[in-house]
């Protein structure tokens, strides 16, 4: 590497030591409130229940077909 590059790297590393970084304001920042989840309506829960029932039915059907295949 070029000695000029090495000097620039060394100078850049010394910058935080030479200059004080401005600290945060004296007053404490208010604690952020956690994000509240928006309340979902009954339609969402009904759709979710139907999705779970459909997945359960599909798995039961696959199990039925697998047992039928093994038994025959």
Q: Give long-range contacts, CB 8 A cutoff, 24+ apart: 65-68.
A: none
pLDDT at 40: 74
pLDDT at 4: 73
pLDDT tens digits, 18-65 = 665 555 556 666 677 766 666 778 899 999 999 999 999 999 999 999
Copy the structure tokens of residue 50: 């139907």
Q: Quote the distance between the C-alpha of residue 38 and its chain's center.
A: 18
pLDDT at 26: 62
Distance CA 3, CA 11 (A): 12
């Amino acid at each position: 590497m070029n000695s000029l590059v090495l000097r620039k790297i060394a100078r850049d590393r010394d910058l935080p030591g030479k200059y004080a970084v401005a600290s945060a304001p004296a007053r404490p920042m208010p604690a952020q409130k956690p994000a509240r989840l928006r309340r979902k309506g009954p339609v969402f829960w009904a759709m979710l229940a139907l999705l779970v029932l459909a997945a359960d039915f599909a798995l039961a059907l696959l199990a039925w077909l697998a047992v039928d295949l093994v038994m025959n």
